[in-house]
A and B are shown apart, each in its own frame.
Chain A
């Protein structure tokens, strides 16, 4: 217990240093901004800022990137409520009732309850990391090559299971990502693989190019193909204060949403969008007037918003303690860590305690900042919503282009952005989701290293993966999840239904 307080004290002393508070603030501000703006997601933003954070220390860099991520979750709710367009994919559920509330002139209370619920959930989420992080890391420290390899397989499988649509396609995307991750000099033998003689590729394809291409450029192309249609309720935001009745009705959903979100964030592969959808379903089932959901029920805003923010926090646990990214965003965070020369894994907590605890505490401080930032500044955020897309997208392209060039001062990185943008666009047309590709890309080289190590120790006997009990358990769960999804059509149907509803909302 004293350890815990010592750690938290260390965290506070790191997170409250002037520089880190500043970067946390910048991160939250940028995150809210891009969360509000539809068209530029947090993934593309974090990818864009990776080269910029390169010059900061690892702690400040991660604090800022994390701020962008959860700031975007907050900002996304503003757009959902006011424009009926999710600024960020996890806020789609908020659109259902939040937008209806705005149409009835109750945008203010909807936004306030979303912010309060998110703050409460964020606080609980951070506490979860503090309590469970060290336990998990302690277990994972004992893992060898076989366990690590199998854990990565499990991580990828979970990403596949929770991806949209076809399981086979998601597996293919993961494998393709692993292959792209192998481009460059083989660390073990020094052989240059798949570089096609291009010197700029000897260090591998940059994660920045892959992420900006897949999540920035492909998105722009897709957006341009749609006609713009927005209906904004900007003048109707007055009277932020929710009524006593609103508070009374929201308390239960916030508590339940937080619980649901915390658990969903912990499970490998589940995303905050599923958490918010689950919370919405629960509230609808529990409510006496469930048929009124979708017409502006405050419960339908309070629950999902709390759930997605709690999940956004606990989402960090597997990445920080095991070094396993459970989603595209955590894959980028892992990439940022590696660019800073930190080997991800359970040893981060003991080797870089200031980074680990500083980041966690900064997330709580950031959540506090967001409440302060979002509520009074809502008027300014709304102004941003009125910027026409024809100005937004070339501006975003400029940041993508200069950002990717600046990292290595190489035009090859810009060409790579274009190539991955095109690939992402075509694959999206064929119903192949890009997130598993990025996950595979980050984990690919680590998987090769761990497999090599495991096979070296076992003298080339691949059965080591199933004779070590923990490794076998990971592989078993992976296999069962995939088989269950393929063999049980009911489960698959439910999953698709959930995804589809969440996707259409």
Chain B
């Protein structure tokens, strides 16, 4: 099988597009289709999703014919830490409030950087948290829970 794939970038992006296209069409089956005269909720997504799946197949097909570059290194640690920091932020913000959420975000996010010095990050996190409270709560007046039970 790997022998067949000459352009891995095309192959995998094609697979992703096929998956999304098929997924959108499949879910659309739950919605009323209607007709061309009166397009139902499923009509347009089915059309576009189907087209996406077809184009995805074209990509996959061409990847077995035309040679292409190898996929560059796809990191695990950095994307995981950066996205993880965001997810943690969202979760903590609802639970404990803005200040703990920002401190967690800065710590987890900074761990994805090239250098990580504990005290430097801690001070930076506190400064950013104070800045955020100042900008968002006081200047812009966004209603945000700042800390637990506050």
By a beta-carbon cutoff of 8 Å, the part of chain A in contact with chain B is 52, 55, 166, 168-169, 171-172, 175-176, 178-179, 182, 186, 188-189, 191, 193-194, 217, 220-221, 224-225, 227-228, 389-391, 393-395, 397-398, 400-402, 405-406, 409, 411-412, 414-415, 417-419, 421-422, 425-427, 429-432, 444, 447-448, 451-452, 455-456, 459-462
Contact = CB atoms under 8 A, between A and B. Distances in A.
A172 B59 contact: yes
B110 A430 contact: no
Nearest to B50: A175
Among A425, A430, A432: residue with most chain B CB under 10 A? A430
Contacts, number: 192
Contact of B87 (A178, A405, A418): A418
B83 to A, nearest CB: 4
Contacts of A432: 13
Given A179-B45, A390-B114, A414 B13 contact: no
A175 B51 contact: yes
Majority-rule SS of B interface residues:
helix
Contacts of A421: 79, 82-83, 86
A389 to B, nearest CB: 7
B48 A217 contact: no
Contacts of A221: 75, 78-79, 82, 112
A148 to B, nearest CB: 15
Given A179-B52, A412-B90, A425-B79, 5 more contacts: A175-B21, A179-B45, A182-B48, A189-B32, A194-B24
Interface of B: 9-10, 12-14, 16-17, 20-21, 24, 27-28, 31-32, 35-41, 44-45, 48-49, 51-52, 55-56, 58-59, 62, 69, 71-75, 78-79, 82-83, 85-87, 89-91, 93-94, 98, 101-102, 105-106, 109-110, 112-115, 124-125, 128, 132, 136, 140, 142-144
A144 B101 CA distance: 49
The 4 nearest A-B residue pairs measured at CB: A460-B37, A411-B90, A414-B90, A191-B41
Given A217-B83, A429-B72, A224 B124 contact: no
B89 A414 contact: yes
A390 B82 contact: no
A411 B94 contact: yes
A385 B130 CA distance: 23
Contacts of B55: 168, 171-172, 175
A411 B97 CA distance: 12
Contact of A398 (B44, B59, B75, B106): B106
Contacts of A166: 10, 59
Nearest to A217: B82
Nearest to B44: A448
B17 A176 contact: yes
A394 B101 CA distance: 13
Given A217-B86, A460-B35, A182 B71 contact: no
B53 to A, nearest CB: 9
Nearest to A460: B37
A213 to B, nearest CB: 9
B113 A224 contact: yes
A203 to B, nearest CB: 16
Question: Which one of A193, A401, A409 has the greatest number of beta carbons of chain B within 10 Å?
Answer: A401
A414 B87 contact: yes
Contacts of A169: 10, 13, 59
A385 to B, nearest CB: 18
Nearest to A462: B36
Contact of B90 (A227, A401, A426): A401
